[in-house]
Structure 1
Amino acid sequence: MTIKRFSLTLLILIFSGCATYAGLNYDQLFGKPEVRERTVPVSSPESDFFLSEVKPIIDNRCVVCHACYDAPCQLKLSSVDGIDRGSSKELVYQGTRLTASQPTRLFEDAQTTAEWRKLGFFPVLNEREQSLSGNLDAGLVARMLTQKARHPLPETDQLEGFDFSIDRTQVCPTIEEYDAYEADYPLWGMPYGMPGITNTEYQTLISWLGNGAKMNAPLPLTDEEQSLVNEYEKLLNHDDLKNQLTARYIYEHLYLAHLYFSEVETERRFFTIIRSTTPPGKAVDRIVTRRPYDAPGIDRVYYRLVPVRSTIVDKTHMPFALNMPR
């Protein structure tokens, strides 16, 4: 073996050893990661703090990039489920791919955070020891916010060092890889390529993260909303074949739409129409297929209305009014 080749091999071993040590160090400091229960009752103080203080910041500064199916690193910050799911290194759209990939549609292709971990998603919130230091030092969101605070964008007329192109190479570090990421890209804190959040917003988010990032459970329907859901589901699920064909036609044309009850005078809430194995009155059991018109795998399909649990953003918002005249 030549001296040059020996030196190269030694360097590889040293750096791989450092990477391994860095990964083990988090385990030694804060224990092994495990999925945490973050949702709390809607009526709790933690839920109120998230909905009134934290969510407005995320909606105002984060979801503009992190709301779509192909959000950077597949990190969808537009919902509780998306925040807890975390990130993936896999690209959603890849023109050179020759075989079908596993779909990763939020609320569809996995139902729990543990299931998303099995599909390769890694956490952006700390899943190790739930302590103040653990939540801030071993959580990606906290680290990226702090990085931005330490390294604000330079005051310049022409911003350099950022790639905003659609086909850019994505860099999606895990917490074990984060020290190297920060060293290589000191200006790439979050929000990426944008002005930093205010100090008040930063303190709000850090307080939330440090206390375990608790978030609200799904918001319940009002009595009026539930009554209308029952009415429309009954309309969509008669047993005669003509009605079943009509319901299928409606579903295949409106499955991407955000439905709302235009005759309700309270704050507007949106719904989506889905296929379920269960009839109205029972818990929804979503039928998941790659395409909405693919064979459902069962003899009888029921069409159900489920509330939208993500922040509404213009680029995916297709409202459609439901009312008796229509």
Structure 2
Amino acid sequence: MKAPVLAGVLVFLGLTACSQAPEPQPLPSPTPQQVSFTRDIQPILNSRCLACHGCFDAPCQLKFESAQGLQRGSHPQEVYNGTRSEAQTPTRLGIDAHTEQQWRELGFRSVLNPDESGQSLLYKMLQLGKQHPFPPNSKLPDHIELGITRHNQCPTNEQFDTYAKQHPLEGMPLGVAALSDQEYAKLAAWLEQGAPFDKQPAPISQADQKHIQQWERYLNQTSPEQQLVARWVYEHLFLAHLYFSDQGQQTRYFSLMRSSTPPGQPLKPIATAQPNGPYDGPVYYRLQAINDTLVHKRHIALLLDDAKRERIDTLFFATDWQVEQLPGYAYHDRANPFTTFAAIPARARYQFMLDNAEYFIRTFIRGPVCRGQIATDVIRDHFWTLFQTPDQDLFITHPDYAQKVSPLLGMPGQDDDILDAGSNWFTYRDKRNQYAQLRTEAYRRYHPQGAALSDIWNGEGQNTNALLTVFRHHDSASVQRGLIGQPPQTIWWMDFPILERTYYELVVNFDVFGNLAHQLQTRLYFDLIRNGSEQNLLRLLPAEHRQTYLEEWYQGTGLIKRKFSYAPVDIQSPVAESYQTAQPYQELTQKLLSEFSAINAFAEDPLNRCQQDSCARTQEDDWIQQSDKQLTELSQWQVKNTPAMHWLPEVTLLRVHKDTEDTLYTLLRNRAHSNVAFMLGESLRHQEERDSLTIYPGLIGSYPNFIFDLPAQSLPLWLEAMKGVKTEKDFEQVVQTFGIRRTHPRFWQVLEAIQAWHRQQQPLEAGVLDINRYKNL
């Protein structure tokens, strides 16, 4: 994420050669009156800087979600580094250090302290950006590098003059429309006044305090059974932004944390790299208020109300079970949650995850592991996700089977010795494939009739978590409820072992600060999990067709994985479903849309599955329905029939407005591949002529790649212009006419309008969007 941000300040790369800068523009004078951080400065940071400087991948680790991040400053090491040979020291705000001196000892450098000239690094970066604005709506010079592959330079105050000479066009905010005179004047004044902070954490309401006390009391009971359930709940909710009641945009969020201090005392986080990291001493589970500005890419909200606590009681303690000895945090305890939590009824664990399936899928689809192309290279660009009903999951229904296979379900990554990485991988691969073979044999024995649609969890007829859609956006991904878009090439059907392993491998056990061996093993094992989800889906198809579909999904180099990594597909067991054609997969997708329409949040998807006259959302205003109808043809676009798609990025936001109203669509480019069995070499497997579009009425994705903004009456003109594109020059003309380039005078206003629309439509989901991946079209 790198782009605009006032504090993007010290992040930037640039080229090694000097750039010829235009004559510097005069700078506005700082605001003469006293400036307040809370009232005047933080709103600017939130709207102009946080769009690039948030979360682990903030350039130079300079974060603006909170005053603490700004005070902490920058660090030359990047958090995301898939090639490092040694694990990196964690640098999480609020956990790994708590004072400015402690951060300095960890290598962070101030961006606020002035040098002998009286100016801070942040001040100089803002000056550089304001002195060299770009021509309105112009394409940026090619030498300005953008995106997550940019090498951030992170100069110190003493190095700034050299940086400015080499990169005169790379001040802050980077590569976007400049700050307004008023914004710059306020920031300049605040920095001249010594960058004082007046912000205090918002007080916690009495109602929220009551909820905190109830939950902390509940999660810190003393019986071994309650302690084990509390640990399991914590390890499954630590990434959530928890809330007790829906108050719209005023909802307060909290994090569940491990603390060395009990309820009633100040919370002291246990600073292990992973939530199940080893710790000597008593562990307490505490709730801490989130006072940071919310950024969309890591805001995963989950309701934690009285009903949730009652549900936990019902699921986990409805039957009698006992703990002989509480597990510790040794290697095997962390690597295999199936043995660690074996005492807890498997049905309770699985059902809790099903109840909140969107949250759990979102944690690893949008969580820290899924940053960058290599992390997302092993999933398709568009697929549906289903879950096996607990009553038909042998791990749930047959404890003897669960006990037999549990030792085979451990996951790699705990041992990050690079020299042992290869042998570790083969060991875990072989165990997984042994498990897959045992699973196939067990289902043949216990379900000789084969799989049926009734084996798919139906959400008890009301829970829309049962059907999900995942979109991959090249180097990020998103998940939404419902079966969205035209039927995808593949579908995941997850049972409890698949779902829990995915969560532990990509969320609990993944260390974003880990080394090459840890990250490599994590991603390789996830490839096996994805394959397991797809092969489970094949059980719903006739046996004689399964190998054909598997070969279609794993073409070309995918043959290598089919032969040497994956367990053989079951081509013997029957299927309980009947099919009428030689295209059973296509029949299956239509059956899913028909049989599960009651719990399908997108049972009617008129923009992508237009049925005669029903090609619009009938509940919307007439002008929006008209826009819907005009846009339905997008779902038929492919590169081979619409060359404009060749230049269209993965996530394009289309804002359409009329008078004072507006609506939003997301155009999702689904890249087709011969297979997704490898982390590298995607371009060699990309089948561009088969790329397609899904249009979503709303916002999908945390990282918009581009924005088109147009009045409703101009929508037909935009469509015709797009259909008329034959060359890159044609496409650039469409961008120039209808697009919002990074340098557009209204760039920030349009982005704010989109985020305001999202806050209004989905207040619990909304957060600041990240523009580090906004394309220079």
CA drift of 1:267 comes to: 2.4
Q: How far apart are the structure 1 equivalents of 2:191 and 2:49?
A: 15
Contact 2:56–2:80 under 8 Å retained in 1: no
Aligned residue number for residue 18 of structure 1: none
Pair 1:91-2:78 in alignment: yes
Cα gap change, 1:270 to 1:186, in 2 (>3 Å): same
| TM-fit CA distance, 1:65 | 0.8
Aligned twin of 1:320:
302
Q: Deviations over 1:298-326 (max 9, x none)?
A: 1x210000011321011110001111112
How far apart, in 1, do the equivalents of 2:84 and 2:169 lie? 32
- The equivalent of 2:160 in structure 1 is 178
Secondary structure of 1:175's partner?
Answer: coil
1:286 offset after TM fit, Å?
Answer: 0.9
**Further displaced range: 78-87 or 264-273:** 264-273
For structure 1, which segment, 235-244 or 83-92, has the greater mean C-alpha deviation from structure 2 after superposition?
235-244
Report the equivalent of 2:196: 214
Bigger Cα displacement from structure 2, 288-297 vs 156-165? 156-165
The match for 1:306 is: 288
Deviation at 1:295, TM superposition (A): 1.6
The answer to which of 146-155 and 198-207 deviates more is 146-155
Residue of structure 2 equivalent to 1:103: 90
Tell me the distance in 2 between the aligned counterparts of 1:188 and 1:169.
13
Once the two structures are TM-superposed, the CA of residue 140 in structure 1 deviates from its matched residue by 1.2
Partner SS for 2:250: coil
- Residue 200 of structure 1 and its aligned partner are, at CA, apart by 0.7
Aligned CA distance change for structure 1 residues 322 and 176 (closer, same or farther; 3 Å): same
User: What is the Cα deviation at residue 79 of structure 1?
Assistant: 0.6
Distance in structure 2 (CA, Å) of the matches to 1:244 and 1:283 = 21
Could you tell me how far apart the structure 2 residues matched to 1:148 and 1:301 are? 48
Tell me, yes or no, if the aligned pair for 1:258 and 1:272 is still in contact at 8 Å: yes
* Matched letter for residue 139 of structure 2: Q
Name the residue aligned to 1:271. 254
Name the counterpart of 2:630. none
Paired residue for 1:191?
173
Question: How far did 1:224 drift?
Answer: 2.5
> Which letter maps to 2:68?
D
Aligned equivalent of 2:439: none
Name the amino acid aligned to 2:235: E
Partner of 1:7: none
Q: What are the Cα deviations for residues 152-185 of structure 1, in whole angstroms up to 9, with x where unaligned?
A: 1244632112211322211110001011111111
- One-letter code of the match for 1:67? G
Tell me: higher relative CO, structure 1 or 2? Use CA pairs within 8 A at least 6 residues apart.
1
How has the CA–CA distance of structure 1 residues 264 and 199 changed in structure 2, closer, same or farther, with 3 Å as cutoff?
closer
Q: Name the stretch that deviates more: 186-195 or 205-214.
A: 205-214
Which stretch of the first structure deviates more once superposed, 289-298 or 76-85?
289-298
Matches within 5 A, 1:106-117: 106-117=93-104
* 1:147 paired residue number: 128
Tell me the equivalent position of 1:245.
Answer: 228
1:295 maps onto 2:300 in alignment? no
Q: What code does the residue aligned with 1:238 have?
A: Q
Match of 2:206 among 220, 223, 232: 223
Q: CA RMSD for the aligned pairs?
A: 2.0
Give the distance between the partners of 1:265 and 1:170, measured in 2 at CA: 37
Per-residue CA distance 1:109-156 (angstroms, 9 max, x = gap): 111111010111000101668xxx62xx2x111111111111112446
- Find the partner of 2:240 among 257, 263, 288: 257
Q: In structure 1, what is the Cα distance between the partners aligned to 2:126 and 2:223?
A: 56
1:108-147 to structure 2, matched below 5 A, reads 108-126=95-113, 134=118, 137=119, 139-147=120-128
Identity of aligned residues (%): 42
CA contact (8 A) 1:87 1:123 kept: yes
Question: What amino acid is the match of 1:148?
Answer: G
Structure 2 letter corresponding to 1:251: Y
- 1:228: how far off? 1.9
- Counterpart of 1:146 in structure 2: which amino acid? Q
Match for residue 205 of structure 1? 187
Q: Hey, what does 1:49 align to over in structure 2?
A: 36
The alignment covers a number of residue pairs equal to 274
Shift of 1:186: 0.7
Offset, 1:78: 1.2
1:77 aligned partner: 64
Q: For 1:325, what is the secondary structure of its paired residue?
A: helix
Distance (Å, rounded) in 2 between the aligned partners of 1:90 and 1:196: 27
Amino acid at match of 2:298: T
Deviation, structure 1 residue 236: 1.0
TM superposition shift of 1:206: 1.2
Tell me, in whole angstroms, the C-alpha distance in 2 between the residues paired with 1:194 and 1:156. Answer: 9
> Residue 64 of structure 2 aligns to which amino acid in structure 1?
L
Give the 3 Å change call, closer, same or farther, for CA 265–184 of structure 1 in structure 2: closer
Partner-residue secondary structure (3-state), 1:176: coil
Shift of 1:217: 3.0
Secondary structure of the structure 2 residue equivalent to 1:153: coil
Are 2:240 and 2:302, in contact at CA under 8 Å, matched by a contact in 1? yes
Scaled by the length of structure 2, the TM-score of the pair is: 0.34
Does the 8 Å contact 2:115/2:157 carry over to 1? no
2:258 is paired with a residue whose SS is strand
TM-score (ref. length: structure 1): 0.79
Greater Cα shift, 310-319 or 160-169: 160-169
Please report how far the alpha carbon of residue 218 of structure 1 lies from its aligned counterpart in structure 2 after TM superposition: 2.6
- Deviations along 1:54-106, one digit per CA (max 9) or x if unpaired, are 11111011111101112111100111110000000012122221111111111
Structure 2 gap segments, 5+ residues each: 1-32, 309-777
What is the alpha-carbon distance in structure 2 between the residues aligned to residue 107 and residue 239 of structure 1?
28
Asked if the contact 2:262–2:284 (Cα under 8 Å) also holds between the matched residues in 1, the reply is yes
Gaps of 5+ in 1: 1-44
CA contact (8 A) 1:263 1:323 kept: no
**Structure-2 separation of matches of 1:155 and 1:64:** 20
Match of 1:66 among 53, 61, 67: 53
How far does residue 219 in structure 1 lie from its aligned partner after superposition? 2.7
User: Equivalents in 2 of 1:266, 1:73: separation in Å?
Assistant: 31
Taking the aligned partners of 1:263 and 1:282, their CA distance within structure 2 comes to 28
Instruction: Tell me, yes or no, if the aligned pair for 1:73 and 1:87 is still in contact at 8 Å.
Output: yes
Give the AA of the match of 2:182. T
